[in-house]
Amino acid sequence: MNAESSTKLMTAVVVGAGNRSLVYASYASKHPEELRIVGVVEPDASRRQLAAERFGLPPEACFSTVEELIAGGTRLADAAINGTMDELHVETTVPLLRAGYHVLLEKPIGITEEEVETIRQEARRNDRIVMVCHVLRYAPFYRAIKERLVEGAIGEIVNIQTAEHVSYHHMAVSFVRGKWNSKEKCGSSMIMAKCCHDTDLLSWLAGDAKPVKVSSFGSLMQFRPDKAPEGSGTRCLVDCRIEDSCPYSARKNYIEQGLWKSYVWPNWHLGSRPTEEQLAESLRTDNPYGRCVWRCDNDVVDHQSVIVEFDSGATASHNMIGATSRPCRIIHIVGTKGEMLGVMEDGEFVVRTHDARKGREYAEEKVKIDVAGDNHGGGDLRLVHDFVRVLRGEQPSISTTSLDQSIDGHRIGFAAERARVSGCIVHL
């Protein structure tokens, strides 16, 4: 990452000092010669203060709203890192674009097709860059697959199959107990909140082919009161008789296994460290992550299948399956001359090509990928690196997500949800 990086220092304001923004902003701590965080916009006063301390910001660089940030008329930074929640993306991004900021925007771009279009038009009108955080494109695993497709390693794409297995503890924390458990609450369906990465991969890997038809099936099958096991209660640490044997026990997941701390404990991502007793007490009382997974206010699906037809004739499918034992993403692409398949978390994929010589059937190459590093298969900070490069006016990488290129994947996701709810085929 360092090869061409020491040319020009870029500056950014963090908008929404939550979990995701801080992941991206951590690039500035790792590469201070490339990126500096010079301001923060955050309505929560304690979070704003902690973020100010993290980045050494003076009070005059801290704001509770975007309107306050832009009020003075002087632009504080080259760009904004917008990690607000889904339903706030448009209302926070539009004023930033109008005030001259380029924006690194968390996915989904917006919660409706109209919102996505608004951002596209505002970016164009103000001649600003909006780079969408489709972090998987930057994961070395998918990047290597894309490079081979572009080289023509398996010929023309006939079919792409992807699957995301959302582990039992991830499903519970995000889509049953947590912030994305209800479309009404967060604005996004499960397929948009979790899998707009995957629908983006489908359209990115399909190259110039455009999606034309989408259909989808899925439902909330598991996390409902009528599926609650005998002995379960309302809170794991209050009235549950099977807590000891339940894989969804909040105590096990969030204290013993130590998973999802930044989701479950406010300001953990900014260094807050309650004691174990305080953690248990919060799970017993008012912490929403202490609730029984069969008795929450969730309404999003826990599994969904999406099928897509492209104008090239190619087809694709994506299966989102919640509550699996192991989290993973699986891909299998079949082309006219061969196929590629692999599991991202295994750190390798296989390229097979037809081989009709006597005694052979196919040739096979194993490609090993280093999946160490930050989350999303190493994609998170590589994406910020590319954003900084694009800000500096350098050549974008093969993964760079211009807004126009990001929109097709979103259109597949929105259409899939419409198709699932109405039981129809959506023509794009």
Q: Which is nearer to ligand NAD, 216 or 401 (CB)?
A: 401
Q: Which is nearer to ligand NAD, 4 or 117 (CB)?
A: 117
SS3 state at 72: coil
Residues 194 and 416: their CA atoms lie apart, in Å, by 13
CB 51 to ligand NAD: min, Å: 9
Place of tokens 């017993």: 284
Amino acid at 75: R
Residues 271 and 126: their CA atoms lie apart, in Å, by 37
Among candidate residues 198, 76, 81, 207, the one with its CA nearest the CA of residue 132:
81
Q: What are phi and psi of 187, to 5 degrees?
A: 90, -20
Alpha helix positions (H), 265-402 = 276-284, 375-391
> DSSP states of 21-80 as a string?
HHHHHHHHHH-TTTEEEEEEE-SSHHHHHHHHHHHT--GGGEESSHHHHHHTS----SEE
Q: Which is nearer to ligand NAD, 16 or 322 (CB)?
A: 16
Residue least distant from ligand NAD (Cβ): 18
Q: Which is nearer to ligand NAD, 102 or 194 (CB)?
A: 194
Q: Which is nearer to ligand NAD, 31 or 107 (CB)?
A: 107
CB 303 to ligand NAD: min, Å: 19
Q: Which is nearer to ligand NAD, 193 or 308 (CB)?
A: 193
Q: Which residue ranges make up the site for ligand NAD (CB under 6 A)? A: 15-20, 41-44, 47, 65-66, 83-86, 88, 92, 106-107, 133, 135, 193, 376
- Beta pairing, strands 315-324 & 157-167: parallel
CB 107 to ligand NAD: min, Å: 5
Q: Residue 205 in contact with residue 146, Cβ under 8 Å?
A: yes
CB 69 to ligand NAD: min, Å: 9
Place of tokens 């339903």: 87
Cis amide prior to 108 (ω within 30 degrees): yes
CB 203 to ligand NAD: min, Å: 17
Task: Output the six-digit token pair for 159.
Answer: 């079919």
Residues 410 and 108: their CA atoms lie apart, in Å, by 8
CB 264 to ligand NAD: min, Å: 11
Q: Which is nearer to ligand NAD, 90 or 390 (CB)?
A: 90
Q: Residue 294 in contact with residue 228, Cβ under 8 Å?
A: yes
CB 137 to ligand NAD: min, Å: 11
Q: Which is nearer to ligand NAD, 193 or 280 (CB)?
A: 193
Q: Which is nearer to ligand NAD, 149 or 192 (CB)?
A: 192
CB 378 to ligand NAD: min, Å: 13
SS3 state at 306: strand
Q: What are phi and psi of 140, to 5 degrees?
A: -55, -30
Q: Which is nearer to ligand NAD, 43 or 152 (CB)?
A: 43
Query: What are the start-end ranges of the E strands in 90-220?
Result: 102-105, 130-132, 157-167, 211-219
Residues 175 and 136: their CA atoms lie apart, in Å, by 20
CB 380 to ligand NAD: min, Å: 7
Residues in the chain: 428
Sign, Cα dihedral of 334, 335, 340, 343: negative
Place of tokens 């902003």: 25
CB 426 to ligand NAD: min, Å: 23
